[in-house]
Structure formats: C-alpha cells, structure tokens
Amino acid sequence: MVIALYGELVDRDECRELTQLLQTACDEGAANIIFDLSDLRIMNSTGLNILINSLTLARKSGGEVLICGVSKKINELFIITKLNTIFQVFDTEEEALAAFVLRPAQDAETDK
C-alpha cells in the first residue's frame, strides 16, 4: 500500500483518520506500507507520531513501513529525531517498492 502525503502533517484529527485507515489496512492483510513524502511540506511531532504508530501497527501485523521522497527539510527532522535509524528511507517510490519485492528472498537467506 502506497500512501502519498501532501501539504502539512500537523493536524491531530487528520492523523486519527489516517491511523484508522492504516489499522483497517493491516487488519485486512495490507501490512506493508510505503509513505511517499514527495509533496509533504511541513511535519511536526504529530506527523512523526503517526509514522511511528504506523510502523508499530505494520510490524504487529508482520509488515513494514518504508519512506520515500523525503525533502531536505523533513530529512533533517528525521536526522534530528534519529528516525532515520528506525525507518528505511528511499529516494523514490520505485526503490521502496523494489525493497519489498526483494524482502522475502533476503528473509529466507537469513533463516538458513
């Protein structure tokens, strides 16, 4: 599932709606999520919280959250908060999708 975020991710009500959408998706088996931040201009602690909560939801359902299209400003926020060590960040959506395609083969290799 690819979710393109745009504008500002600062509003608690919008974040609640997004959390409900993600919970439903994980419940239905769509636990691998890519957040495309290419058009996201501003993010505050509320936005960071939604990303962290999404990661928790996805991992509890056996999935993962990948991030792509991060602007310089938001990348600095990731570095300051050390979220760049928690999330895998890719330049493009295509790279993030490819990471999911390669993931099962890599997991099988580590199980040997």
DSSP string, 49-97: HHHHHHHHHHHHTT--EEEE---HHHHHHHHHHTGGGTSEEESSHHHHH
- What pLDDT does residue 11 have? 75
User: Are the C-beta atoms of residues 40 and 72 closer than 8 Å to each other?
Assistant: no
**Residue 71 is part of which domain span?**
2-111
Considering the entire predicted model, what is its pTM? 0.84
Please count the structural domains in the chain: 1
pLDDT tens-digit series, residues 19-28: 888 888 888 8
Q: Does the pLDDT of residue 79 top 80, yes or no?
A: yes
Give the CATH number, domain containing residue 54: 3.30.750.24
